[in-house]
Chain A
Amino acid sequence: MKNFFKTSILIAAITSMSLSCDNYVDIDPEYSIDADNFFKSASDYERALTGAYDLMQTSYLDIWIGEIASDNSIAGGESVTDSEGLHQIDAMTHGGVSNELRSIFRWMYTGITRVNYIYENKDKLEFEGKERILAEAAFLRAYYYFELVKFFGDVPLIIDKRLSSSEIASQQRTPAAEVYAQIEKDLTAAAETLAWTTTVKGRITKGAALALLGKVYLYQNKFTESAEVLDRVINEGPYELFSDFSTLFRVVNEGNSETVFDIEYVGIEGGGYGCFVCLEGFAAVGFHGIRGYEGPIYRDGNSYNLPTQDLVNEFETGDPRLAASILDIEAFKNSQEDPASVKYVIGGGGHTGFYNNKYIKRADELGAGDDDLTSPVNHKVIRYADVLLMAAEAHNRKASPNDALARQYLNEVRDRVDMDPVNLSGAALTQAIYHERRVEFAGEGLHFFDLVRTGRAATEIQGFQTGKNELFPLPQDEIDLAGAGWIQNDGY
C-alpha cells in the first residue's frame, strides 16, 4: 500500500513535469531577427524600406526589353542562345518560357512583398518620420506594379499583407484597370507626403511620384489628368534641363537638375553571375560594352542591346544627341590617331556597328570585381525632359488640346540641344512629339512601350502582332505554380 502510494506520487510527478513544460521547445533563434517580431524601432522601418528599394536595381531588364522589343535595337551578345529570351523578343517569337520575363515577374513581386511587409506592420509603432517612410514605400509599390502591368496586363493585386500558402494558391489575376487604380492611389498618397527635394541622394521625392503618376495616366490615355499632374511638376518642381546632353549620363553628373527619378547604383561591391538580383551595380552598362574592345575611353563588354540603323536614321541632321546616344564604332575607330590601336570583335548574337552610348562601360566608370556587372552609372528612369515631352503629348492629345503649351514644352527640349523649334499643331504636332521622344530617349528602354501605348507598334516593329504583342506572355512556370488557373495572355 505504501509502495503504491509512493509510486502514484512518482507517476504524478513525471506526468506533471512533462505536461507543464510544453514551452520547453518554444525557443527563438539567437542573434537573428524574425519577420514577426520586427518593427520595434523607427530604424527597423527605415531598414525594411531600404530592403524594398533594393529590387529597383533589377531594372536592367527593363532597358533591354524596352529597346530590343522595339525597332531601336537588336539583342546582340555572344550567340543567339546568349540570353535566348532576348533574342526571341527581338524576333517577336517569344513565348511563356523565358528566363528574362520570369525574372521580371519574380523580382517585381519581391519588391511588392517587401513594401507590403512594411504596410502589414505600419501600426505597430508611432514615430516621427513614419509618413515619409510609408510614402516612399507606396511609391515603390506603385513602381513595381506599373512595371508588371506594363509588361503583363492583368496581374494579381496584393496589398498591405504577406500571403499565406493557401492565399497564394487561390490568387486570381486582377484586371489591369484595378491595378492602375491602386498605382494611382499609392502615387497620389506618396506625392502628398513627400517633399520636392531631399538631402539624401537617391530618395524618392514628390516630383518623382507626380512624374510617375503623370506617366501612369498617359499609359492609360488619361491625358487631362496626366497634363494636370505633369504641369505641377513643371510649375512647382525644382527641375530644369541639364545643359550638356553629351555628359548627361555620366557618373559625375548624377543628381543634376534634370534628375526626377533615378535608380541608384554604385560599383563598390562587386558581384557575380550567380545572383543578378544581388548586384549593387547596373548590369546593363557592362553588357552594352563593346565586345573584345581594346582602345581608349571604353572598356570591353558583352555587345548586348545594339542600336539599329533605323534608329540612327530617325535623328535629324546635326542633332548632337545622335553621337551622345549612339556610338558608331567604325567612325570612332577611324577618328583615332592610330585607328589600328582600336580593336573589337563581333559577337555571334548580331552586329549593327552601333552601341548604346548613354549606358556603356567607360574606363573612368568601372565597378569593382567583374565590372561587366557592377557599373556605378545610374539608371535615369524619369528625366525632366521626359516630364516635358509627356506633358506636351498630354496637352496635345487631351480632349481639349492646348497645343501652344505642348509646343512650348517640346521646343524647350529641342532648344537644349540647339535644334530648331517646331511650329506644328494637331496630329502633326503629335507626330513631332513621338519623333522627339524616340531620339531624346534613344537607348533608355522607353520606345517599345511608347509604340504600344500610341498604337504604332504593328507598323513599326517587324513581326509584331496586334492583339497579342502589346503584352508579354505570363511566364508559363508562374501559371503552373499559381494554382488558381490563370489564363495566358491572348495569342500566346
Chain B
Amino acid sequence: MKTKLLALLMTLSLVGYGQSLLKGRVTDENDQALPGVNVLIKGTSQGTVTDANGEYSLNSVTPDAIVVLSFIGYTPQEVAVGGRTTVDIKLVPDTKTLEEVVVIGYGTTTVKELTGSVSVVNGEQLTALNPVRIDQALQGQAAGVQISSASGSPGGALNIRIRGLSTNGDNNPLILVDGVPYSSDGLNALNPSDVESINVLKDASAGIYGVRAANGVIIVTTKQGRKNTKPSLEFSGYYGVQQTTKKLNLLTAREFAILKNEAFAAGGQAPPFLNANVGNGTDWQDEVFQNAPIQNYNLNLNGGSEKSTYSIGGSFLNQEGIVGGTKAGYRRYNARLNFTTELAPKVTLQSVMLYTNERRKTLAENGISSVLFNTINASPVATPYTSSGDYAFLEDVAEVINPLAQISNTFNESNVNKIVGKEELTYKINNNFELSGRAGYNYAIVDDKTFSPLVYYGSGKAQNTALNAALDPRTTEIATGVSIPIYNNVTETRTSYFNYNLEAFLNYNRTFQEFHKVKATLGASVFADVNKSLTGTGYNVPYNSNDFADISATDGTNLLNSTSSWQNESRLQSYFARAEYGYGSKYLLSALIRRDGSSNFGKNNRFGYFPAVSAAWVVSEESFFNTGLIEFMKVRASYGVSGNDKIGLFRYRALLGGEGVYPFNNQLVNGVAIGTLGNQDLKWETTKQTNFGIDLNLLNGKVEITTDYYIKKTNDLLFQPDISAISGAYGAGSSPPWVNGGDVQNSGFEFLINYNDVIGDDFRFNIGYNLTTIRNKVTALPAGVDFYEFGAFGVGGGTATRMQVGYPMGYFFGYKTDGVYQSAQEVTERGITQAGAQAGDLRFVDNDNSGTINFSNDSDKTIIGSPIPDVIMGINVGMSFKGIDFSATLYASIGNDILRNYERQQPLANLLSYKMERWTGPGSTNENPRLTTAANNNGVISDYFVEDGSFARIKNIQLGYTLPGTLTDKIGARKLRVYVAVNNLATFTKYRGYDPDFSTSSPVVSGIDYGFYPQAKTFMAGLNLNF
C-alpha cells in the first residue's frame, strides 16, 4: 500500500514541468552499440532498455533530470540531461566490481559481502583462450586451483586440484553446471563458449555441499539471455594447426652405433655395429609427430522479451592428434538452450538443456606399450618401411614395435551422447521470501568400440595377436584335446550414466532498519546416480578389416565370444541451512550446516553434519578508516568441515564376491565366499579447513588484491590396509575391509593482484598475477602401517612412490647418488661397500650409515623428490588501443619433480642424447654413468632419474583487431573482431621429457612420466562476429 501511494505522489509531482522527449545511443569503449542497457531517470521508476542499435528514448523527461545507466560488466554511470534532447553515452567496462554477483550455492552474494574464499573467473576471459575443455583455460586464472593435463591427446582429461592433495583417493572437485553435478571426466562435453562464469569455492564455504565438498566446488553458470533485448546473434570460430610442443633429443644412428658399440664392448660382448658410419638414420619422432588441424565454430543467439529470456547455442569442434592424426581425433557437436520465462506473476521457470555428441579416438598412451614409448625407444638404425613399402619389423629391440604400424593397427573409438538439463521453478512469494524447486539430470550414453585385428610386429613381440607375418591365428585349448583358433575380435560396450538431482530451497532476504541485513536459506536435496554397462566381444571380423568391425558381422557361434555387464547405483540425501547477517556492509557473518546421507556408508555412519562459519569485516566502512590510497578493505576468516565420499560403492558391506571353487566328482563346483570384508563403521573422509583472507581495492578500483592463507586437514582417509589374518580376509577373491585411517594436511598461501587502467582515452590495459603455494604432508596412517607403496619404476621394477607420515603424498622413494666413481681405486677406498660397483658406476649414498649400499632391501632408500609443486602462478596481460587488442597468459609451476621413466633398459633401445656425456674415463664426467650391457646397479631407482619439473609456459598469446563501428554497421553487424593466436607458444623448463605439465588422476603416482602424450602448440586464426 505504501509503495503505491509513493508512486502516485511521484507521478503527480511530475505533472506541470517542462517535459520533453529524450533519446540517445549507448556504446561501449569501442564505439560498438550496447543493447539491453538499463536506462533510468534517477529518483523515478521511469526507465527503459536500449535496443539492438544501442538506442533508447524516454518521454517526458525534465531538463534537470539525471539519467542512470547500468549494464552488467560495465561501470554504472549517471549523466545529467542538462536540457539536452539527445544524450549519447559511452560506458566503461568494469572488469570486476564489488557489486559483482558471486554464486555461493543455493544463493548468491556480492564480491563486497562475500565472507568465504571464492575465485571468480569470467567466462569471456576463458573462452578467449579457445580451450577445448573449460578447465584448460582455468589453469593459471585462479589462485589455489592447480590444473594439469592427464593427456595431451585430443579429448584428454585434466586433473583439477583445489588447494593441494587432500586425499589418497579421488581428488577431483565437485563440479556443478547450472546446479547439475558434472563429473570431471565428463567435462569434455561442456562447450567452453557456453560458459558465462565460473566460481570456485575453495574454503569451508564449500561446506554447503557437504559430503562431496572436501576437494572444493566449481560452479559453472552457462549463458543466459537478458530481458527486453532484441535477438543478438554471435558467431565465433577459429582454425588452427597443432604441432608438438617438443621433440626429445634422441641419438642419431651414428651416435647410437658409437654408444652401443661402447656399451657392448664394456659388457664383454661383440660390438653390434662393425661400421658406425650409419648416417643419421631414422628420426622416429619425425615419422610419428605430425601437424594436425583444429577447428571450432560457435553460434549463439541471445535475447529476451518482457517476460522471457533465451540463449541458444550450437557449436562444432574437430581436432586431430599430433600423434596419430585422425586415429587420435576428437570431434564434438554441442547444442544448448537456456530459457527463462514468467509462467505466472512471481513464478519463473528456468529451463536449461545442454546436448553433446562426442567422438574420440585414442591410441595407447602413457605406458610401456604406448606409441610414444615405442617411438622413443625404437632403434634409429632401423627403417620404418621395408623396400616393398610395408611396415618394417623392429627386430633388434625386443618388446619395442614399429610405432607407425601400431598407429595403423589401432582402432579405438568412443561415442558419447549426453544431455544435461535442469528445470527450475522460482516463486517469489514476497519481497522477502523466494522459493525454488529444481530438477536436474545428466544422462549420457557412451558407446565404445575396439577392434583388435590380427597383427604381427615381428617375432617375439608381446603385442602380436597373430602367429606369423601371414597373420595365421593362434589357437587355444578350450577343453581337453579341443583347440580352436583365436581370430581377430571386436568389443563393443554401451554404458549409460544417469543421475538426477531434486532440490527445493527457500531463500529469505530482508533488511531491518536500513542496516541489519538478514539472509537465510533452508533446503533439501536428493541425488541419485545410476550407471549400467553391457559389453560384448565377437570374434572373426571379416577380412581382418575395421570396415566390418561390428559384432553383427562376426561369427555368432564362435566359442570365444563373450558378454559381460555391470550396474550400480548410489544416492545422496541432504538438507541444509544457512544464515547470513550483515551489519550494514561492515560486519558480515555467515553460518551454515548441511546434513548429508550417502549410500556409500553403512547405517552407523550414513548421516553426517557439516558445519561452517565465516565472517568478514569491511574495515574501509569504518569511520576511522581514512586513507585515500585504499578505498576498500575487507578482512575475512572462515572455518568449516566438509566431507569426501568418493570411494567405490557398498564398500561398507561384505558382499559375497569371494571365490569358493572345489571339485566334486572331478567337476568344478562354484560355491560362495565373502569377498571384501565389510566395515559398518566406514565413513567419509573429513576435511577441516581454516582460511584467513584480505581483500583490497586501491587507486579508484584500478588495483585489486586478494590474499588468503589456508590450512586444510583431512582426517579419516579411506584405505584398505592389511589386517590380521584371523579376519579371514585372504582367500581367493577376498580382501581386507576398507577403513578410515590416516591424515593429510595441506597449507598454503594465495595471492592475486589485478591492475587495470586507462591511459589517455584509448589505451587500456590490465595485468593480473596470481600465486599459490602448496605444502602437502601426510600426518598419520592407519595403526600398524608405516607406509604405502605405489607406482612402478622401470619394467618389472619395484615401486616408485610412497605415502608416509611426515612426507608429501606420493613422494619418490629411492637411492641418492653422489656422482660417479671415477676409478676402481675410488670404489675400494671409499670405505663403503657397493656390491658390483666399478669405475663409471653411480656412487650411491649410504643413507643408513651401515657401511654397505644395500640393494636387497629399502634401508638405503630415502626421499628423492616430490611431484607436488611448491608454487604455481599465472600471469594474464591484456591491452587494447583503439581497435587493436593484445593478450597473453602465462602459467608456471615451480618445485615439482618428475621421475623419468620412459627409457627402456634394453641393449639396443635408443637413448636420449644426454647419454653422449656418459662417463668414459677418470675425470670425464661426474654426472652420467658409463654405458655397458653388463649387469650393473645404475638402473635402480635413484635421484639420477629424478628431474626438476619446474616450468613456465606461455599458454596463450593473442593479437586481435576490432573493425570500427562505422564499417561493421555497413554489413549490419554490431561487432567484428579478427585475431591470430598461439597456444603453448613456448615452454621454459629444464625437464628433458616431452611435457612437464602433466599428472595422473591418482595423486600417489602423479609425477611418473611413462612417455606422456605432450600438449600441442597451436597456431590459430579466428573471428568473432556479433549481430
Contact = CB atoms under 8 A, between A and B. Distances in A.
A32 B571 CA distance: 18
Contacts of A481: 722-725, 784
Interface string B668-694: 111111100011010000000000000
A48 B679 contact: no
Given A33-B655, A51-B672, A114 B731 contact: yes
A7 B507 CA distance: 11
A105 B575 CA distance: 48
A280 B650 CA distance: 29
A436 B663 CA distance: 32
B711 to A, nearest CB: 31
Interface size class of A (residues with CB under 8 A): 35 or more
A73 B915 CA distance: 50
A165 B739 contact: yes
B660 A162 contact: no
Contacts of B658: 51
Interface stretch (A22-30, A62-70, A306-314, A317-325): A22-30
Interface stretch (B317-325, B369-377, B399-407, B521-529): B521-529
A265 B664 CA distance: 9
A54 B438 CA distance: 53
A461 interface: no
Contacts of A55: 731
B568 interface: yes
B731 A483 contact: no
B571 A168 contact: no
Given A10-B506, A14-B506, A51-B672, A202 B662 contact: yes
A245 interface: no
Given A36-B654, A109-B725, A481-B724, A278 B665 contact: no
B866 interface: no
A171 B523 contact: no
A25 B504 contact: no
A49 B660 CA distance: 9
Contacts of A30: 567-569
A273 to B, nearest CB: 13
B551 to A, nearest CB: 23
B671 A50 contact: yes
Interface in A99-125: 102, 105-107, 109-114, 116-117
A49 B664 CA distance: 12
Nearest to B603: A26
B671 A48 contact: yes
Contacts of A24: 526, 571, 573, 597
Interface string B524-568: 101000000000000000000000000000000000000000011
A72 interface: no
B73 interface: no
Contacts of B429: 3, 6-7, 10
B246 interface: no
Interface string B853-894: 000000000000000000000000000000000000000000
Nearest to A276: B732
Contacts of B673: 48, 51-52, 54, 114
Interface in B724-766: 724-734, 737, 739
Nearest to A279: B732
B477 A35 contact: no
Given A18-B573, A25-B571, A168 B656 contact: no
B661 interface: yes
A201 B668 CA distance: 12
A113 B728 contact: yes
A112 B724 CA distance: 14
A345 to B, nearest CB: 21
A7 B724 CA distance: 57
Contacts of B654: 34-36
Contacts, number: 226
Contact of A35 (B433, B649, B678, B729): B678
B730 A201 contact: no
B664 A202 contact: yes
A7 B656 CA distance: 49
Interface in B575-622: 575, 597-599, 603, 606-607
A168 B661 contact: no
A25 B599 contact: yes
A368 interface: yes
Contacts of B783: 483
A238 to B, nearest CB: 18
| Among A22, A25, A29, residue most surrounded by chain B Cβ atoms (within 10 Å) | A25
Interface in B617-672: 649-650, 653-672
Contact of A52 (B655, B660, B734): B660
Interface in A1-26: 3, 6-7, 10-11, 14-15, 17-18, 21-22, 24-26
A269 interface: yes
B572 interface: yes
| Among B571, B661, B670, residue most surrounded by chain A Cβ atoms (within 10 Å) | B661
B167 to A, nearest CB: 22
B1023 interface: no
A203 interface: yes
Nearest to B721: A481
A51 B669 CA distance: 9
A8 to B, nearest CB: 10
Contacts of A14: 504-506, 522-524, 575
Given A109-B728, A162-B728, A34 B663 contact: no
A92 B672 CA distance: 39
A368 B522 contact: no
Contact of B731 (A17, A107, A200, A268): A107
A200 B728 contact: no
Given A17-B524, A266-B668, A163 B567 contact: no
Nearest to A3: B430
A268 B649 contact: no
B671 A51 contact: yes
A120 to B, nearest CB: 11
Contact of A163 (B506, B522, B727): B727
Nearest to B722: A481
A421 to B, nearest CB: 38
A461 to B, nearest CB: 27
B732 A277 contact: yes
Given A29-B655, A50-B670, A278-B659, A21 B526 contact: yes
Contacts of A36: 653-654, 678
A27 B526 CA distance: 14
Contacts of B571: 24-25, 27
Interface in B701-733: 722-733
Interface string B374-394: 000000000000000000000
A192 interface: no
B522 A11 contact: yes
A3 B435 CA distance: 12
B671 A110 contact: no
A127 interface: no
A475 B36 CA distance: 78
B660 A114 contact: yes
A396 to B, nearest CB: 37
A203 B667 CA distance: 13
The 4 A-B pairs with the shortest beta carbon distances in the complex, nearest first, are A113-B728, A51-B660, A50-B671, A51-B673
Given A44-B672, A51-B731, A481-B784, 20 more contacts: A7-B429, A18-B573, A27-B570, A29-B650, A33-B672, A35-B678, A50-B669, A53-B671, A54-B673, A110-B725, A111-B731, A114-B673, A165-B737, A171-B726, A201-B665, A202-B662, A280-B668, A477-B722, A480-B784, A483-B724
9 contacts: A7-B433, A14-B505, A25-B606, A35-B653, A54-B671, A55-B731, A165-B727, A200-B664, A478-B724
Interface of A: 3, 6-7, 10-11, 14-15, 17-18, 21-22, 24-27, 29-36, 38, 44, 46-57, 102, 105-107, 109-114, 116-117, 156, 158, 162-163, 165, 168-169, 171, 200-203, 264-266, 268-269, 275, 277-278, 280, 368, 475, 477-478, 480-483
